[in-house]
Chains A and B, each alone.
Chain A
Amino acid sequence: MSNQIPIAEGLFSWPAAKPALLASRCKRCGIAAFPVASTCMACSGQDVEIEKLPSRGTLWTWTIQQFMPKTPYKSNETPESFIPYGVGYLELPGGVRVEGRLTENDPHKLQIGMEMDVVFEPYRTEDNGDEVINFFFRPVRSPQ
């Protein structure tokens, strides 16, 4: 089995039985930030603690990226094999709205306000065979 590594250290708990996105919460003003930051952007406080963000939220807005981005985009795709991908902000109750890729790329299956889960899946494979894990937002159910 290939080695699985997170796309960035500290973005989400990994390895973990139930991985979660990680946020910093300011002890002074109580505002959460993603990714983890040592300084609070709301009040400039520097005393923060790290917490796990909820795994389910609602889609605040979205789009579909229809063309392959230039560098620094780094996937295993070529312009020929590129598949358009969804992007959105997921509102995580009590936390923040996090921007991420969606597992869904059909505009007819996406609606503002729909419930989505944060999932952790392979994004690309490195030359040495390592699988790079990223977070994605997946619809809980198809919209009616």
Chain B
Amino acid sequence: MDVAIVGIGIHPFGRTPARSGLQQGAHAARLALQDAGVEWGDMQFAFGGSASAGSADALVNELGLTGIPFINVANGCATGGSSLIAAYNAIKSGQYDVGMVAGFDKHDRGAFNADPKELGIGDWYGEVGLMMTTQFFAMKIQKYMHDYAISHNTLAKVSEKAFINGSKNPNAWRTKPISVDEIIDSTMVSNPLTKFMFCSPAEGGVALILCRADHAKRYTDAPVYLKGATMKSRRFGSFEVFAPSQALQQVDGPTVDASNAAFEMAGVGPRDIDVMQLQDTEVGAEIMHMAENGFCEDGEQEALIQQGATHIGGSMPVNTDGGCLANGEPIGASGLRQVYENVLQLRGQAGDHQVPGDPTLAYTHVYGAPGISAITILQR
């Protein structure tokens, strides 16, 4: 039994002082129900996640107390992907016919301040100033630039593209294009990455309605099928965020593992993908994730990005809605935003950020602490 996505809803990302994170989640949930032509009372189950805006299952207070099982998922940046996998399996197993996946969040301004203890690391690690995701991403791209000759200009071009795409997306946070020079000259945060090369914690909500594929046409003329959904944690030897040490012998990270598993599950390869949303918490991540997900060889990004291949009209459009860079990262909602965008793309409803050529296969990827990755492959 295949699984289809038959309804999608989003609350605009960015800052919405008048609404709590929960209310943003409820807004997205109502739109998703409306999109599928169903009522909350039709939902047989729900999975949801929120990192900083309360329990996802508090959504029932907004949507109605119907008695369904609503399970909270907490998996860092992979929360949305993990919720989706849980829902996929719930339907695939035959237990349920139709249900909801929801994610929302509302974070304070500024970088996340993680607690080492929650990850089993000593207090000293945070006290001396190593408990910073920004440092990891900076050090990973620093090494990658050294090994594969990626230029600073290419780093900036990733942000430039993100803000251009954001300007075409009415639900994005950052909607004003910023020049390459302005990006390079903005405040240095963690060398080589400047302020405009990082995404920020933000707010937003996304909800999806999933059902058995053979019921999909009851809800929509344009179902999108979940052909692959995988999540992996790190193996020994991969270079990960919040690691006081790493092994001398390096192995592939969880992105590579989750990506390989997703392609195998879907029975397709990287060359078949028409549009991709890759975790871009900063520009280096997008560059490295292009190769880690199999879309190019290490080092090819320099030419691809300089040639504009990752733009909406390019040969491999990446982060067509502006990605995390233009939308910010509300952790609970971020991975589902990628899926929302891909459903729009596959339905041909993405408006100014629609990729040309009637895309049929779309790919999402998230990466997060302490070394996890989740992938989805969607097909119309």
Q: In the complex the two chains form, is A87's CB within 8 Å of B122's CB?
A: no
Q: In the complex the two chains form, is A69's CB within 8 Å of B113's CB?
A: yes
> Shortest distance in angstroms between A77's beta carbon and chain B's nearest beta carbon?
10
Q: In the complex the two chains form, is A70's CB within 8 Å of B188's CB?
A: no
**Stretch of B39-47, B70-78, B132-140, B311-319 on the interface side:** B132-140
Task: Name A92-119 residues within 8 Å CB distance of B.
Answer: 95-101, 107, 112
Identify which of A7, A34, A60 contacts B128 (C-beta below 8 A). A7
Complex A-B: 21 CB contacts under 8 Å: A11-B122, A11-B124, A35-B122, A41-B236, A42-B236, A42-B247, A61-B146, A62-B139, A65-B190, A69-B111, A69-B113, A72-B113, A73-B131, A89-B246, A95-B248, A97-B246, A100-B128, A101-B128, A101-B130, A123-B128, A134-B128
Q: In the complex the two chains form, is B236's CB within 8 Å of A99's CB?
A: no
A61 to B245, CA, bound (A): 12
A3 to B328, CA, bound (A): 46
> Shortest distance in angstroms between A129's beta carbon and chain B's nearest beta carbon?
18
Whether, in the assembled complex, B220 has its beta carbon less than 8 Å from a beta carbon of chain A, the answer is: no
Whether, in the assembled complex, A88 has its beta carbon less than 8 Å from a beta carbon of chain B, the answer is: yes
Q: In the complex the two chains form, is A134's CB within 8 Å of B124's CB?
A: yes
Whether, in the assembled complex, A71 has its beta carbon less than 8 Å from a beta carbon of chain B, the answer is: yes
Residues of B within 8 A of A (CB): 110-111, 113, 115-116, 122-124, 126-132, 134-135, 138-140, 142-143, 146, 187-192, 236-237, 243-248
With A34-B244, A99-B243 given, is the CB distance from A65 to B135 under 8 Å?
Answer: yes
With A66-B187, A112-B142 given, is the CB distance from A87 to B135 under 8 Å?
Answer: yes
Identify which of B111, B127, B131, B190 contacts A7 (C-beta below 8 A). B127
Which 5 residue pairs are nearest across A and B when measured between Cβ atoms?
A72-B126, A63-B138, A61-B143, A34-B245, A8-B124
Chain A residue with minimal CB distance to B126? A72
A70 to B142, CA, bound (A): 24
Identify which of A7, A70, A112, A123 contacts B110 (C-beta below 8 A). A70
A66 to B237, CA, bound (A): 28
> Shortest distance in angstroms between A144's beta carbon and chain B's nearest beta carbon?
17
- A residues in contact with B128, CB < 8 Å: 7, 73, 75, 100-101, 123, 134
Q: In the complex the two chains form, is A75's CB within 8 Å of B111's CB?
A: no
- A residues in contact with B143, CB < 8 Å: 60-61, 112
Chain A 53-68 interface mask (CB, 8 Å, partner B; 1/0)? 0000000111111110
